[in-house]
Each structure stands twice: as structure tokens, then as C-alpha cells.
Structure 1
Amino acid sequence: MLLVTSGAVAFGKLTLSQALRLSMSMRETLIMKSGPPLETAKSSVGTSAAVGQSGLMALYDAMFNQFGVKIAQVLVTKPDFYNPESRSWLRQTLLELISLNILPIINTNDAVSSPTSQFEACVDGSQIQLISDNDALAAHLAAEAGADLMIMMSNVDGVYTLPPGQDGSSLLHTFSPSTRDRIVIGEKSNVGLGGMDSKIGAATWAVDRGVSAVICNGFKDGAITRIVKGEKVGTFFTQHETSSTSLENLSISAKNGSRALESLSGSERGAILRKLADLLLEKSDMLLEANAKDLQAAEACGLEESLLSRLSLDRTKLASLGDGIRSIAEKCEGDDILGKVNIRTLIADGIELQQITVPIGVLLVIFESRPDCLPQVASLAIATGNGLLLKGGKEAFHSNRALFYLVREALGQYNVQQAISLISTREDVDEILNVGKHIDLIIPRGSADLVRTIQQKSKGIPVLGHSEGVCHVYVDKDADFESAYDIVRDAKCDYPAACNAMETLLLHQDLIESDFFSTMCSILRKEGVTVNAGPRLSQRLTFGPPATQSLRTEYSRLECAIEVVDDVKQAITHINTYGSGHTDVIVTENVAAAEDFLRSVDSACVFHNASTRFADGYRFGLGAEVGISTGRIHARGPVGLEGLLTTKWQIRGSGDTVADFSKGKRKYKHEALPVSPDSDEFRRASAISADDS
């Protein structure tokens, strides 16, 4: 590592100013206080640099000594770079210092050097960029030392298309030769010699000589470490023109694609979906081959069995996906869900108001492990006319890419491919959240940690989803035991990695001493389920399963907790205290107890005598789901087509003004009109409204 620094002149000016004050007479001091300040910069830049250099190095020595790092001062001048012999000695000195783990701290020797032009020729005839500032100096040193990377720090995050903060300005994560013509540089700071224009020139010069360059914000925590790790920090300079589209442009394209999808008829969107359903079967060999690559890599990395199950695709899953997509197509074709009239009101004669359904806009859906999410979510977005950005987990890279190509092929029928895009790395999510003005809703589908992280980083963009799936089954004393055995087995064992799998089994206290308890435990053990005991159950058992660490645990595997409660009231209290608001079940033949449970449990899905596994968009008849929401705003439970729509109001008038009503010339009617355009009442009301107009 080499460190190029400035500050000697500033140190020197401060020192000289203090010295000047000490040397002034009382009369001069009073004049300075009452009148204009004395000229404190009588000395040249060279003098200030000479005085300040020792103070600057003393500061660096004190800082680096805290970490056991030795430093060396290297002062350079313009002629040092013109003379090949001097450059050779400079290079040798730098490399020797680095080999000794000594940090070279380099500055221009402003005491004897004052550059005046940008480029000059060397003694050997080669051209160099003049060292007019520390950006140019860093570029030269990087080239001379054969550095792998040059990092130039600024007080902004990198290179912007327009001055930062100006409307329309966006951060460039890569800078190539053609980019220069697309950016506008603002006014240079009056502090120092450089500026963003200087940094861009120095970075470009260094890249031309084989040194990678990044311009970043020096105030960002861990900026250097994050850049070295390959994260998208600042602006990376490259000689290569890239054909990839920026994430901001992808989100803009998705917005435009949403409008294009919305303009299609329901039958046209249905045709896209039917094409996708057919492709899932026609290209099943290709999909399974891609999925096999992901499974092989996941097994080599030791991915958990439950996550491997989520990752796996087979012909049965593909057929089920196709059936779900066809059912969504039927909804589009039969009764188009877009532009559907929810409310019609005759405000006054000649003024009709209606509320219609419209797409939300652009969805960002982030999902882990499960590649089958991709066609499900894409189908729902197509049906509802929403643009979509998909972010899948890296463990399903090949599967997601293969499925995405099929989605693009289906969209190609009507040339609306831009409506849906697939984004890749984790850093892309952070970047796209920074251009959130183009995203209307984020839907994370994955671990609780993923959801919490997205909620924290969403920067005001609404997030729909659930962080955990702590689902309960309560078996009442009046339950049919055979039904209870089947429901508990299905809820826990059918797909233990699912968010709607049972995690806690609650038992009425009367069942603990009965054969039901021992039989239920035997069934779970036979299925390979590890059982943990809640605190109350542990107290009642002399010998029993180990105590659970928490009653809020989402195991997502063949493991669960069992706890005892006094009655249905206590079961409700337990679920509302420890549950995640996802899905909870009561098994009982007591109708009053069941109704109390259904009414009082505060969850998105509450069932009576049915497995938690029914909490699913496909099983609800929604065709598919974009996720399950445990929140209360906009949508709750499995989110299907209706959950991806919003509304807008339309008025059809005839030159009407509010003033006419304020002055009493006209009166409001506010008559409800039928919403079905096929009804006779609708046609009569429309005719009357038109006649009155």
C-alpha cells in the first residue's frame, strides 16, 4: 500500500499564522482586531510547505504507530518523473519500503516544485501527465510501482452523471471511455488543486497503463476493505465498454414494461401465461439439467437438507407450476382483472365517478433457494400488468437463469420482454434500493434475517411479507384424535422447510395423561421429528424430551416444540404471544371453541380442523402467490392477483366545476350505480346519466 497525501501547505500556513501573531507588536495586534486582517500569506506556497511538512509527518507517525505500522516520507518533484533514471530510483525505493512492510507516505515537494501545465515530455521522449495535484501524482506512482489498484477518495460517493444532489443525477458504478461525454462536472471546490474532473483524468490515465482505479467516498466506513473485497463501492474505471444495463435502467424499463403489459388485453396476457406453462413442460430436460448443477454445488457446500428440498425441481413440481399458471391465465381471459370497476357513483347529473383496478407498478421480489418462485411470481406480475425485478439466491443461479429465459420467451410474443428482469449479486440489491424511486413494492421471500435486512434497507419503499413462520396446531380436549394425528403429521412432515409448516404443537392439559400424547409423540418420532418440550410440559414430565430454547423458534426442518395449555383461551393467548401471525390451527369438534379460536387468534390465516399447509396461494385457488403477508396494510395472507393491484378514480364530466355546487346552482346526488356493465340497471343508469348531461 502507498499513501498519497496532502496537507503540508495547510499545516505550514497555520504555523506561520501563529508565528506572525507572536511577532506582532501590541499596536499591530490592536489594528488587526479593529480593522481589516493583516496579510498572513506573505510567504509563498513553498515556504508554507517547508514549514508544514514536519508537522504533517508527525501526525501520520502518531496515528500509524498506534497500530505498529512504520512509515517513511517520500517527497517528489516534477523532474523526478521526467528523468527515466530518477523514475527508476523512485520505483526501487518504493518497492523496497513495501517489501519491508513500511508504508510510504508520498507528497509533492511544494517547497521546490510549482507545476504550470497539464502534460510535458520526458527526457526519453514519452509523454506524462503533469503532477498538478495529488490525483495526478497518485496515478503516476501507481503506474511506476505497478500497482493493482488506485483508490482516489472524495467527499462524494463517486462519479455522477450530473453534480450530486441535482435533479436527474445518478451515481455511475462503472466508467468507460464512452461515459465521459454523458456526464456534467460541477464547479470545483475552492479547497485544493484537484476536483472531480482531475480525478477522472488521473483515473483514466492510470487505467490506460494497466492500473485499475476507483473513485469513492472517503467518509464511508470500511470503504477500502469493501472495494478490495469486490463490493460495488464508488465508481470503477475500465477500458471495456459493457453491454450490460444499469440497475436504474432495468427498473425504468420495468416501469415502461408495466405500462405495455397493462395496455394488453386480458386474453393477450393470458396467452403469454399459457405459453410459459407449455414451455415449462417442453423445456423440462433443460430446466432439470440446470437444476442438477445447482444441487450438486449446494451439496458440495453442505447446504441443509431442508434447503436442498426447496432448491430441488422435478417433473411433478414443473407440472404443478404449469397448472397454477394456466389457472391464472383463465382469470385473465375470463374476466380481466385490470380496469375492473369496483365502485360507480353518480355524483350529479352528467358527472360519473368510478374506481377501477390498476397495477401497483414495479415489484422487486427477492427470494432464496426456491427457483419455482420465479415462474410463479412472474406469472402473477404478467397477469396484473406489473413490472418485475427478480433477485434469486446464488444457490439457484443456473435454475433461475434457465427459468428466466422461458419467461422472456413467453413475453416475446407481444414484445414486452422489458417488463421483467433478473438481477444477480447481493450488492445489486443494495444498489437498486438506492434507485428506489422506480420501485413501488418490495416482496422478500426467504429467511427472517433476509426480510429484516430488506426492511431496514428499503429506504421508504413499502415491504410486503413476513419475517417468520412460527405456526401452531392446537389440539383441544374435544378433538377427533384420528384427525388430529393426520393434521399434525401433515403440518409438520409434509414439507418441513415451508413457512406454513407447524413449529409448535399445543395440547390441552387433559391430553397429556392420555394415550393420545404418547401416540402423537410416537408418530412424530417415526417420521424422524426431533421433539422439544415447552416450559410447562417439562415441569409435568419426569422423563421427556429436552427443553426448547425458545417458543418463538422457526425450525424449518423435522423438529418442533410441544407445550401444554389449560384450555382454548390459553391457547389463543399463547399463539398471540409467541406466534408470528402466519398460520394457526385448532383441532376440535367443539364448534363454540372453534369459533372463539377463529375469531380471536390474530393471524393472517386461522383454520379449524385443517393442516397449516393449506396456507398457500395455489391451494386457496389464487393460482399462485407472490408471498404471504403477515402485515395489515394492503394485503394479508397468501398474496395472489388481487394483492398486486391498486386502484385509481376516474370522473367523466362535461365541463363541471365545484363553484356551481358551492353557489347552489347544482346539487350533489351521490347515487350508487351498478358496477357490472352487463346488467340492465347499469345500461339504464348510463343512459340516464348521458341524457342528463
Structure 2
Amino acid sequence: MLHIASRIVRVSGRRYYTVTGDTLPIGNINSVYEGLNVDKRTLVSTERKKRTFTDRSQLKYARRLVVKLGSAVITREDGNGLALGRLASIIEQVAECHHEGRECIMVTSGAVAFGRQKLTQELLMSLSMRETLSPSDHTREDAGSILDPRAAAAVGQSELMAMYDAMFSQYNVKIAQVLVTKPDFYNEETRKNLFCTLSELISLNIVPIINTNDAVSPPMYIHDDTVVPGTGKKGIGIKDNDSLSALLAAEVQSDLLIMMSDVDGIYNKPPWEDGARMMHTYTSKDKDLVQFGQKSKVGTGGMDSKVNAATWAMARGVSVVICNGMQEKAIKTIISGRKVGTFFTDCATSSPTSVDVLAENARSGSRVLQQLTPSERASAIHTLSDLLVEKQDKILEANAKDLEEATKGGLAKPLLDRLSLSQGKLKTLSIGLKQIADSSYENVGRVLRKTKLADNLILRQVTVPIGVLLVIFESRPDSLPQVAALAMASANGLLLKGGKEAAYSNKALMDLVKESLQSVGAEDAISLVSTREEISDLLSMEKHIDLIIPRGSSDLVRSIQKQSKHIPVLGHAEGICHVYVDKDADPVKALKIVRDAKCDYPAACNAMETLLIHEDHLTTTLFTDLCNMLKKEGVKIHAGPKLASHLTFGPPPARTMRHEYGALECCVELVKDMEEAVDHIHKFGSSHTDVIVTENETAARKFLGIVDSACVFHNVSSRFADGFRFGLGAEVGISTARIHARGPVGVEGLLTTKWILEGSDHTAAEFNEGKRNWIHEPLPVH
């Protein structure tokens, strides 16, 4: 087989193909083909072995790109001219792709619409001058409707290209217009010339912009059984720019065709109908599942035309995405691998079950869990608890693989500690899960309030699950069974997105979760999301996900909170915990508590990050003892500004007082009294967990009352801020928010309420008319 153009290099701004060891300008590729007795038109089919991408993550490797702009994308929603702002954004993205070394071709609509806009104004002026007509009798629509579309196209084509040229020139990109008609594809000579021209333009680093020549030809229509001259192969019916772009993409062997329209993608039925569901992935097998609606209000191509064109191109080695061209940065987002639009693939094993389906399964699984009795839900959790011990060898074997790969990859030690599982951890997990099971009998369906509104009219407020949770966690596989058990107890559906560093451990643990759910017929309620799904895609699934709970580094949590625009996020961005050693602190207690708060598990979010010491201790042995103890434990100390001012020689100054070290490091600072300690905590803390060590009960009560944190402790380590230690069995996360749930979030934090009203034949009008009377009598809830 002939091997041509295996790679591309750039020299002085021009691209060169490396052909059989020789580097030649692509512009001179003719000589290569002539010498090899190969038609130049075969350039596109022989220069590389074609295979469609099987996963969105591969789209970043697309080198040759065709972008089709539909009429609805080009024109404004009110029909008055072109959407210049939207076009400018699209052109900027194409220019970026071009400068990245991608070969870009555009297929554009809009000539008729642009020409009609130009001519309508002149026609209205002409009509208004006629003595037999009143200006009020003719509107812009009347004028536009009597315009010949071919005349409009003739005017619009030049105007459209002038606009494209002006916009692309801002990015130093040269363009060329190529107008095509039916014979250009189905006449052997013109077909050959067309693709020679396209190849030459691409070789010259020029972006071809292609449109049908509607000024001389009616809208093209060729039956699907038309045989392309010289090939013996059937072509595609060219009815609109959808089929035109598909044909071009296939002929030039494009890696990716992006068809931009006014809809988000392919739906199983018209989007405005009940039960319509967006199909993020489409295969040829899905065709019978789709019900097509009306055509675009602006263009000539309906959704069935787009699907037919896309599947035709896909069958010829072109990957296709149909998307909404009005979405910001759609092209760049698609190339980055994000789930935008509908991705066409025919690889049956290209991807696991889509997240949409997993989320829908989680919703239905949640409803199955709700219908179970409390003892049945508790039984599933007990099963999972037992499996953690019974199959610990399998779990630890999987965890060892994760640790080996993470160590080779240079994962930081605090994250390695979080990743590591042991028999002790699994035993503690098992005990915690049994606590959750034993406390789950009064969760779902618990009556919080009962009121007699009127005779035979009883209102109850009862607890119900939130719905579907998405929990994103890093490096901590032990989170998976904890969160799964909490979801079971609260009857919530759950999607779990773990870090890739714990892939083996997470899979082994998820197998046990599925086994425990299967015992009660709710195996779909909880699923582990594939690592190929981007978090950003999950955060846009507000129709499927009700609450996001991130567990991990402060960077992760902040990123999730920033990206999630429509789904509420429950969590804490940082764990900057303080221990304040008061002037009346017991030295022995202070040493013991500070050691545990910092050194027991420094990677935990409830570990001490700042030690505040009353300035009176600077002249006592307690200050020295605390510093020596920390140094002995291997803790690196950073001095706060006030402490640094008292020392000639001492620890290096802290760069910032608001920092979560997550390691054997901490900041030490002096304060003059408890009020200054509280002010420091409020200024630099993260509202997570803060501690006072003192024997002064008055000071302790005041500290506990005025410190505005989720957890506030007296004479105990900050490490007690934990769902298991609080008797919750585990926590799905720790929240520093001030609404819904705060602190370690157990089952109760995963519940909301609904109101149930039972009567006989009550109507609101009866109360308004005085026929019935309000009572509003509180009743016992049991």
C-alpha cells in the first residue's frame, strides 16, 4: 500500500508533508503524484489511513476539520440580517484551530438571507414611492417575500465573503470562496478540478469557504441512488448544506465534521414534546428510535436531513458532531472532548453506558429504594459492611495496584496516604457502615410536623431523599462505600466520580456496592462514572443531578463550586482549622491536643493548620514545649507576623495566614487575648473546625458561642470533626455552608421534605366564603 504524507512539519510558516523520507511542500504534491502515477484527487484518500474516532476524548487529534454553519446560526433570531457577534466568535475559533495547525474548511449558508436584507430596504423604498400603494399596506415581510432568492443570493454572496474576509483578516488568516453547483460533484472533470482546488488551497494555508451557487442554480437535489461518475459508487442526495458538508467532508477525508445548527443536538423526539431526551451519542442503530419534527424555521435542512448526512459521512470515515452553533465556544469545546452536541459513532464498544442513562437509572433506583422498608435498606448496608471484611483481600490487591502506579507517577505523599487502604481502615469502614444501617430506620418518611388545618384536613411534613447526588472525590477510595451507604440509608440515587489514581480500588469497591444493592433489587441506584467523562460535562446535567458534593483538595472543591452554575454544591473549599491555646490552658492538655490535631493525620481536612498561642505563654515553658514537640514530630513551623516580630532567630515567616498545608507543616501565631484569637479565626479561617484549649469555663463558653464555624470545640482535638466520630457512621462530606447542612453531613443532610395533605372534599373557596373554618392545631407527630 502506498504510504504518503505520514506527518506534517512547518518551515517559515509553510506546511510540508514528509513523503517516503523526503520533505516536500504540500503545494508541490502534484509532482509526487505524477511521478507515482497517482491522480492528485486521491490525495485525500491515500495520505493517511482513515478511521473514525470512537470517543470524544480523541477529537483533540482531529487535523482536518469541516465546519458547517446553518442558516439559523448565521442569521439573527428576528430574521433581520446576520448575527455578527455569533459569527465573530465562530470565526475566532476557526482561526485558532487554523493557527494550531489544523486544516479548516467552512461550509456556510446565509447568502440569500444577507442579500434579502440588503435588497429589502431598497424594495421598501421603491414600493413606498408608488402612487397606487400605501406604505402601511406593505411590510418588510411582504417586500422580502417577493424577492427572487437567486437575486438575493447574487447580492448576498459577495457581501458575505467581504464580511468573512474582514473578520478572518483580524487573525491573519487568508480565505478563498468556492461556489459549487450540482455538476461540480457529478461531472467527472469538474469534480476533479474542485478537489484539486481544495487541496491546493489547503496546501497554501488558506481556509476555503464553500457555499452553493444559488444565484445560478436552484436548491440542489440529487437522488440518493445517483452514481458518481468514475467511481461506480452511490453519492448522497445534495438537498441542502447539511448533505453538501457531509459530501465534502467525506471527499477530502476530514477527521471531523461539525454541523452547527439552532438545536443542542439530536433528540429522540422533537425537543418541545414530553419525554424528549438529548442523545449525546448516536449510532446508526438509533435511527429507528428517533422521531423527527419540523424543519428549521430558517434553513432548508431539517433534523432528519442532518442525521442522514451525518450517518452518511460517518460511514465513510468522518467523525461528526451536530451541535448548537449559538453555544459559546462550541468548536473549541467539542475539540477539547467536552460533551457538547451529539457525537456520531458506530463503534459498539466505543464508550460505557452514558452518564445520562446512569443518572436516569439512579433516579429510578432512588424510587425503588424509597419503596423499600427501612429494614430492607438497612439489610443492604449490612451486606455491604460484611463484604468489606469478607473480600478484603480482593480490595487490598486492587489498592496495591493503585499505590504502585501512583508511586511511579510521583503522587504526593499526603495523597498517597489518602489513597492507601489497610485491614484496619476496612474494619473501621465496616463498623461505620453498621452504624449507618442501625440508624437508618427513622430517616426516610419521618414525620417532622403534623397539623390539623380544619376538620378532616390533616397536613404532614415528611422527610424524603433529595434525589440524585453526584459525589466527586480524590485519592480516597474509602469514601466510596461510606457515601454509598449514606445514599442507601437516605434512598438517594448516586453517581460517584472518583480520581483516576484510585481506579482499581474504586472498581473493586463498586462491585461490592452493586452486589449489596442487588440483594434488594436496586442495583441501578448507585453507579461509578467512567473516568472518560469530564467533570465539566457532569456539572451541566442539572436535569439529572440534584446536588453535587465534592470531596478532596481545596482546589477541587473551589473548581467545582466555580463551574457548577445550575446545580447546588455542598462542601468546603478549605480546611483551615485553628487551635487556640488560652492563657488559662492546662499545659499537659495543650500538648496532647495540639499533637493530635496536627500530627495524627495531617492530610485530613480537620487537621490543625494554625496554632494560636496567648502571648503570655511566650515567657513560659509552654511555648517552648509546644514548639519542641512539633519539631520532634517532624512538623515544619512557619511564624505568623506577630510571632516573627518577637524573635530575632526563629522559623521562617508564613507567606500567608490563610493556607491549608495538608502536611506536617503549620503556622504559629501570637494573640493578646481570646477576642483577638476569634478575630483571627474569622479573618483567616475557613469556617471548618476551630478549638479552644482552656480551663476558664467563661472563656470557653464565649468562644463556643461566638466563633462562626461549622464545628467549634473545647479541650478536644480538631480531628473529632468527622461523621464516624460524631456517631453518624460516616459523612458524605463536611459542609461549611450556612444553609441546608453544616459540618459533617450524614443521612439527615441528604434529606429534604415534602408536604402531604389529606382531606375529604375540601376546597379553598369554602374557606374564603366562610363555609369552613381554619383550626391550625398542632398534632403529635407519632
Shift of 1:170: 3.1
Pairing partner for 2:340 from 214, 227, 233: 233
Structure 1 counterpart of 2:37: none
Pairing partner for 2:203 from 99, 122, 125: 99
Pairing partner for 1:4 from 94, 104, 107: 107
> 2:470 aligned with 1:364, yes or no?
yes
Contact 1:247 1:431 in 2 (8 A): no
Counterpart residue type for residue 102 of structure 1: I
> 2:391 aligned with 1:283, yes or no?
yes
> CA separation of 1:405/1:84 partners in 2, compared to 1, >3 Å: closer, same or farther?
farther
Shift of 1:283: 2.1
Structure 2 counterpart of 1:221: 328
> CA separation of 1:202/1:351 partners in 2, compared to 1, >3 Å: closer, same or farther?
closer
With 257-266 and 551-560 compared, the bigger mean Cα shift is at 257-266
Pairing partner for 2:413 from 305, 316, 321: 305
Pairing partner for 2:422 from 314, 320, 330: 314
Shift of 1:514: 2.5
Q: How big is each residue's C-alpha offset from its partner over 1:317-367, in whole Å with a ceiling of 9 and x where there is no partner?
A: 1111111112222334xx544444445566777766655443333222222
> CA separation of 1:68/1:484 partners in 2, compared to 1, >3 Å: closer, same or farther?
same
> CA separation of 1:126/1:500 partners in 2, compared to 1, >3 Å: closer, same or farther?
same
Pairing partner for 2:358 from 238, 250, 258: 250
Structure 2 counterpart of 1:597: 703
Pairing partner for 1:54 from 148, 158, 164: 158
The whole-number CA distance in structure 2 between the counterparts of 1:483 and 1:455 is 38
> 2:180 aligned with 1:72, yes or no?
no
The whole-number CA distance in structure 1 between the counterparts of 2:143 and 2:609 is 78
The whole-number CA distance in structure 2 between the counterparts of 1:589 and 1:44 is 93
The whole-number CA distance in structure 2 between the counterparts of 1:570 and 1:167 is 60
Contact 2:338 2:536 in 1 (8 A): no
Contact 1:480 1:587 in 2 (8 A): yes
Structure 1 counterpart of 2:258: 151
Shift of 1:587: 0.9
> CA separation of 1:309/1:660 partners in 2, compared to 1, >3 Å: closer, same or farther?
same
> 2:273 aligned with 1:169, yes or no?
no
The whole-number CA distance in structure 1 between the counterparts of 2:710 and 2:118 is 69
The 3-state SS of whatever aligns with 2:610 is: strand
The 3-state SS of whatever aligns with 1:607 is: strand
The 3-state SS of whatever aligns with 1:498 is: coil
Structure 2 counterpart of 1:324: 432
Counterpart residue type for residue 379 of structure 1: A
> CA separation of 1:510/1:289 partners in 2, compared to 1, >3 Å: closer, same or farther?
same
> 2:301 aligned with 1:197, yes or no?
no
> 2:394 aligned with 1:266, yes or no?
no
> CA separation of 1:486/1:662 partners in 2, compared to 1, >3 Å: closer, same or farther?
farther
The 3-state SS of whatever aligns with 2:424 is: helix
The whole-number CA distance in structure 1 between the counterparts of 2:435 and 2:701 is 32
The whole-number CA distance in structure 1 between the counterparts of 2:138 and 2:586 is 97
Contact 1:178 1:241 in 2 (8 A): no
> CA separation of 1:308/1:671 partners in 2, compared to 1, >3 Å: closer, same or farther?
closer
Structure 1 counterpart of 2:717: 611
Pairing partner for 2:622 from 512, 516, 526: 516
Any unmatched runs of 5+ in structure 2?
A: 1-103
Contact 1:310 1:369 in 2 (8 A): yes
Shift of 1:95: 2.3
Counterpart residue type for residue 257 of structure 2: M
> CA separation of 1:474/1:65 partners in 2, compared to 1, >3 Å: closer, same or farther?
same
Any unmatched runs of 5+ in structure 1?
A: 676-693
Contact 2:127 2:133 in 1 (8 A): no
The 3-state SS of whatever aligns with 1:391 is: strand
Pairing partner for 1:142 from 238, 244, 249: 249
Q: TM-score scaled to structure 1, two decimals?
A: 0.88
Shift of 1:151: 0.8
Contact 2:709 2:736 in 1 (8 A): yes
The whole-number CA distance in structure 1 between the counterparts of 2:119 and 2:778 is 84
The whole-number CA distance in structure 1 between the counterparts of 2:201 and 2:181 is 19
Q: How big is each residue's C-alpha offset from its partner over 1:200-229, in whole Å with a ceiling of 9 and x where there is no partner?
A: 221111111111111112233332222222
Counterpart residue type for residue 164 of structure 2: Y
> CA separation of 1:30/1:296 partners in 2, compared to 1, >3 Å: closer, same or farther?
farther
> CA separation of 1:535/1:436 partners in 2, compared to 1, >3 Å: closer, same or farther?
same
> 2:689 aligned with 1:583, yes or no?
yes
> CA separation of 1:15/1:633 partners in 2, compared to 1, >3 Å: closer, same or farther?
closer
> CA separation of 1:563/1:18 partners in 2, compared to 1, >3 Å: closer, same or farther?
same
With 423-432 and 467-476 compared, the bigger mean Cα shift is at 423-432
The whole-number CA distance in structure 1 between the counterparts of 2:110 and 2:375 is 69
The whole-number CA distance in structure 2 between the counterparts of 1:497 and 1:578 is 19
The whole-number CA distance in structure 2 between the counterparts of 1:661 and 1:585 is 56
The whole-number CA distance in structure 2 between the counterparts of 1:8 and 1:660 is 64
Q: Matches of residues 213-612 of structure 1 in structure 2 within 5 Å?
A: 213-241=320-348, 244-332=352-440, 335-343=441-449, 355-425=461-531, 427=533, 429-612=535-718
> CA separation of 1:46/1:664 partners in 2, compared to 1, >3 Å: closer, same or farther?
closer
With 426-435 and 174-183 compared, the bigger mean Cα shift is at 426-435
The whole-number CA distance in structure 2 between the counterparts of 1:161 and 1:484 is 65
The 3-state SS of whatever aligns with 2:334 is: helix
Q: How big is each residue's C-alpha offset from its partner over 1:523-569, in whole Å with a ceiling of 9 and x where there is no partner?
A: 22222222222222222222222222222211212221111111112
